[in-house]
Amino acid sequence: MTKCFLLLSLLLPTLSMMAQSDKYKTAMVQQIAKLDGAMQNGGFTDLANSFERIGDAEKEQWLPYYYAAYCQVMNGFMEKDKSKVDPLADKAEALITKAETIAGAPNSETEVIRSMIASSRMMVDPQSRWMQYGQVSSGHMEKAKQQDPANPRPVYLEAQSKFYTPEQFGGGKAVAAPIFEKAIAMFDQFKPASEIHPSWGKSAAEYFLSQCK
């Protein structure tokens, strides 16, 4: 009998941790499944809040804050009122800093978000902000490539940047197209670390490539 109680006392903490882990994973899968729809229905604010709540509950998981930052920066790109973009970028920056702190260091995926944040700030006024934020965005993009050469997302961002850059400054659709093709080929080979790790970007790359033709 004593042995049974001892065995139970050893197993209960493990079972509790497994239940918490399953609950976390289920919650993340449910929210990640809503990302594509948020592009159409403008639901990024609610999603950002949901991911942040998961992060606050878990405390030791960096991915919820990563996704919350992604949602906030996507809000920035979609926002028509330019006076609201910098505050959204500030929120995204605070969230990605939380993600990096929990992860222990920046990684390829968090560098991608930092590149996007800088790009969103630049788009408020491209003419006056390009020199400052364009370089910051490119710097984070290059760090993302260095930290994980197999990650297709920084390559997709590079192609997107070229797509929106005027031809006289080295951009344009003809320049962007082969980079989008490279990104798509990388997406086909890319294997996320788990079903809740970042995998977004391929459909967007395919859309932009179609606009290049």
DSSP 5-46: HHHHHHHHHHHHHHHHHHHHHHHHHHHHTTHHHHHHHT-HHH
Query: Would you tell me how many other CB atoms lie within 10 Å of the CB of residue 131?
Result: 9
Of the CA atoms within 13 Å of residue 104, those in its CB half-sphere come to 0
Rounded Cα distance, 152 and 193, in Å: 14
Domain ranges of the chain: 24-144, 150-213
Question: Nearest to residue 155, comparing CAs of 178, 125, 179?
Answer: 179
Question: Nearest to residue 117, comparing CAs of 78, 163, 69, 154?
Answer: 69
Q: Which CATH number fits domain 24-144: 1.10.1160, 2.60.40, 1.25.40, 1.10.20?
A: 1.25.40
pLDDT of 20 reads 55
pLDDT of 13 reads 46
Rounded Cα distance, 90 and 87, in Å: 5
pLDDT of 46 reads 95
pLDDT of 22 reads 86
pLDDT of 42 reads 81
pLDDT of 11 reads 43
Rounded Cα distance, 120 and 74, in Å: 9
**Amino acid at the residue 81:** D
Q: What is the mean pLDDT of each run of 10 residues along the chain (213 residues)?
A: 48 44 93 90 92 96 98 96 97 98 98 98 94 95 98 98 92 97 98 96 96 92
pLDDT of 2 reads 57
